[in-house]
Amino acid sequence: MDYDVIYIGSGNAAWQGGRFLRKAGLKILIIEGSLYGGTCANRGCNSKALLDAPYEIKALADNFEGVGKSGDFKVDWPALMRFKRKRIANMAPFLDGKFKEYDLDVSHGKGIILDEHTVKVGDETYTTDKIVIATGLKPVMPDIKGKQYLHDSTDYLDMDELPEHAIIIGAGFVGMEFASILAEAGLSADVIVRGDMALKYFHQPYVEKVIEILKEKNIRFHFNETVSEVISNVEIDNPEERILNLENALNTDDELRDPDAKIDNKPYENGFTVKCSSGLTLTGDYVVAAIGRQANVDGIGLENVGLTSTGAGIKVNEHLQTSVDNIYAVGDVADTGIPKLVTVAIHQSKYLAKELLGEADGITYPVVPAVAYTIPRIATVGVPAFVAQDSDEYDVHQIRYGNSYSLELKNDTTAEAKVIVDRDLQIVGAEIYAADAENVANMFAFIINKKITLEELDYMIYAFPSSSSVCLYKLHNIHYDL
């Protein structure tokens, strides 16, 4: 065999575990057809964090409107985009250097599985003992008339300028986070939602709070609507070439997206009309499809080894093993029933390294915090409130720590959490609505995973003022009142 393990894909699901296998003496090959590091490093998490940060700061500054704020905080999107491109451009070369540091071999091109032990890249073939599929997810694009005018998250995270009026199809992570940026930028948007909920995996009372804020800032929501057609109201250069490039981009997995597929990525004044099945018609200058993501498995040769995939990914067992004994799937492309987050991908990758070294039993998971980076943020961790409210096993306690500690929270009066405790008064879950909900969620993840009791929390001394300390001080009331 040429290699002990071949990873198809170079994101966190691959190299985080691959480096430990190499350190243990195994020979590792990582196959990547595009930028090293995959989606999160180059077209996802990092870009979103960088572009979101100034708007988060603007929202915090607005808390002091009338009580100390002087002048307006404005974000220069073109300058921010130039900075983002410069920083993100360094990610792939940085990871290339890391792969060399970890002594990981890399083959650049699309990996195609020929049989259980052979992978082809271009004209080269490689043999291996184990194959790990780590190709991630790609955006789902609606198959509708005019789909060539749609953009996805990769596009909006690389726009030269923000649209005056966007139409966003979908209200999950991508749709709602983009809407928050537009709202803070003083722009407008229409959000089309197929069902009756936005961010359906999050605590709906908190989602509704975010929606109300967005509505006040000229973001309109249209629930229970299905888009049927997108029409261009302006002439676009080379529309046939655009359609070809769109298909080129959509038919390759997101991590292997064709870098030469140049799709028109600029807003057009009153450029597009979006029609819904109900008769609703909307007009805007940029249309984003944000209806979800699906497994990136097209053209990688699953059929050659008898593997299949659904939109949720390739089914695996508790060892991340597919129905073919020596082939594994890890990260977002694996159908595990666990949230598809980069943190989960890293957890799985490190586990799989131990599994392949014979040092692990079936994979287990700690509680997984998830955050919607809207403005303000929403987070959830552990047992969700909607489960607790319908069960006699739990109690839900509401903690409005922003109202009590607004001075310590930079004049934020709205921060709150709902904390779920079991019959033994052990914290088992939390829902958070706050400017820094991600940090409070991490605190609760630690409490839940380590089973820290209310009495132990009450004994500890915390740095004050801080969002975690004031939330914990309010948490003490559960201990004292029961």
> In Å, how far are 69, 87, 171 from 406, measured between CA atoms?
16, 35, 30
Please state the separation of Cα 194 from the chain's center in Å: 20
| Residue written as token pair 């259980």 | 116
Domain 376-481, classified CATH 3.30.390.30, yes or no:
yes
Q: Matching CATH topology for 3-139+295-356 and 147-291?
A: yes
* Band of pLDDT at residue 233, cut at 50, 70 and 90: confident
Q: Is the pTM of this model over 0.85?
A: yes
Using pLDDT thresholds of 50, 70 and 90, give the confidence band for residue 477: confident
**234 has a pLDDT exceeding 90:** no
CB 371 within 8 A of CB 437: yes
**Angle formed by the axes of helices 342-356 and 12-23, nearest 10°:** 30
pLDDT of residue 1 exceeding 90 = no
Check the CA dihedral 156-157-160-165 and report its sign: positive
Instruction: Tell me which residue has tokens 């001075």.
Output: 407
What's the CATH class of domain 147-291? Answer: alpha beta
**Range of weakest confidence among 73-87, 155-169, 458-472:** 458-472
| Residue range 392-450, pLDDT digits in tens | 999 999 999 999 999 889 999 999 999 999 999 999 999 999 999 999 999 999 999 99
Average pLDDT for 92-118: 96
Q: Which band of pLDDT confidence, cut at 50, 70 and 90, is reported for residue 270?
A: low
Q: Give the pairing type, strands 165-169 and 286-289.
A: parallel
Distance CA 379, CA 434 (A): 9
Is the pLDDT reported for residue 361 higher than 70?
A: yes
How is 395-452 classified by DSSP, letter by letter? EEEEE-HHHH-TTTTTT----EEEEEEETT--EEEEEEEETTHHHHHHHHHHHHHTT-
Residue 54: closest CA among 167, 166, 185: 185
- Residue spans per domain, the chain: 3-139+295-356, 147-291, 376-481
Strands 416-422 and 188-192 turn out to be unpaired
Could you read off the pLDDT of 139-193 as tens digits, one per residue? 999 999 999 999 999 999 999 999 999 999 999 999 999 999 999 999 999 999 9
pLDDT tens digits for 290-315? 999 999 999 999 999 999 999 899 99
Task: Report the CATH architecture of 3-139+295-356.
Answer: 3-Layer(bba) Sandwich (3.50)
- Judge whether 132 and 319 are in contact, CB under 8 Å: no
Residue spans of alpha helices (H) in 235-330: 239-250
- How confident is the model over 23-45, as a mean pLDDT? 94
